[in-house]
Amino acid sequence: MSIGPPRFGIVGWKNSGKTTMTANLTRELVRRGYRVATVKRAHAGFAIDKPGTDSDIHRKAGASQVAIIAPTRWALIHEGGSSETEPSLDNMIARLEPCDIVLVEGYKSAAHPKIELRADADTARPVLATTDPAIIAIACDDLPDETATGGQPVFRRNQTEAIATLVEQACGLGDMSEHKSAS
C-alpha cells in the first residue's frame, strides 16, 4: 500500500492524450480547491533545461544535482550515473511537498486507480482496462460499447468535470466543504 496523498493515474498508449487529460484534470481539481501535484513518467532521457542555459552548463559539467531557483518557481535536476536505477514512484512522491492528490501520468503497471485514454484511430493496440483491474474508466471521443472496454464506464475526453468527480470519488477526497475546513 502506498504512503502519502491519494494518487490517480492517467494511462494509455503513446499519443493518446495523457498530457492533455492530466493538465485538464489538474486545472479542474485546482478550481475545486485541491492542492494538486503531478508526476510524469518519461521513457527516455530528457532535459527540462534548454541547451546553453546555466543549469544545462552545470549539469554537463558533472553536477549530480542542479537546483534552479527563482522567486516563484524552482526545480531540482538529478543526474544519475549509468549504474543508478530509476527511483520508484513511492520514492518520488515522498519528495513532494504536502498536497491533496497526486495525478500520475504513465506508470501503467501501478496499482492506484487509473483512467485509460484511447486514441480513436488506435484500434490495433489492446484496451488496457480489459486486463488491469486498477483502470476504473476509459476516456476517448469515439465511444465504444462497454463489452470492448472490460465493462468500465466510458467518458468523452472533454468531460473533464465528470472525470474530476470520478477522481474525487476514487481517491476518497469527499465534499469540498469538508476539504476546505480541514485545510
Q: For residue 182, give every residue at least 6 positions away whose Cβ sits within 8 Å of its Cβ, in sequence order, or none.
A: none
Q: What is the structure's pLDDT at 8?
A: 98
Tell me: the pLDDT tens digits for 122-164? Answer: 777 888 988 999 999 999 987 665 556 667 889 999 999 999 9
Handedness of CA 133, 35, 29, 126 (dihedral sign): negative
Map grid coordinates 501503467 to a residue: 108
Q: Which residue has the higher pLDDT, 4 or 171?
A: 171
The gap between the terminal CA atoms of the chain, to the nearest Å, is 25
Under the banding of pLDDT at 50, 70 and 90, the label for residue 182 is very low
Residue 8's closest CA among 146, 150, 107, 154? 107
Closest of 16, 38, 24, 50 to residue 124, by C-alpha? 16
pLDDT bracket for residue 165 (50, 70, 90): very high
The reported pLDDT for the residue numbered 86 is 83
Q: Which three cell numbers stand for residue 84?
A: 543508478
Residue ranges and CATH numbers for the domains of the chain are 7-44+87-182 (3.40.50.300)
> Which own/partner pairs from 136-143 qualify as long-range (CB within 8 Å, at least 24 positions apart)?
136/166, 136/170, 137/163, 137/166, 139/17, 139/21, 139/115, 139/163
pLDDT, tens digit (0-9, with 9 covering 90-100), for 53-76: 888 888 888 887 888 878 888 888
pLDDT for residue 20 is more than 70 = yes
What pLDDT is stored for residue 73 in this prediction?
84
- What integer pLDDT is reported at residue 29 of this predicted model? 96
Q: What is the pLDDT of residues 84-131, one digit of tens each?
A: 888 889 988 988 889 999 999 999 999 999 999 998 767 778 889 889
The residue assigned the cell 463489452 is 147
Give the per-residue pLDDT at 133: 94
> What integer pLDDT is reported at residue 145 of this predicted model?
59
Residue-level pLDDT at 67: 82
Cβ pair 66, 59 in contact under 8 A: yes
Residue 177 has pLDDT above 70, yes or no: no
Q: How far apart are CA 8 and CA 95, in angstroms?
A: 17
Q: Which residue has the higher pLDDT, 144 or 21?
A: 21
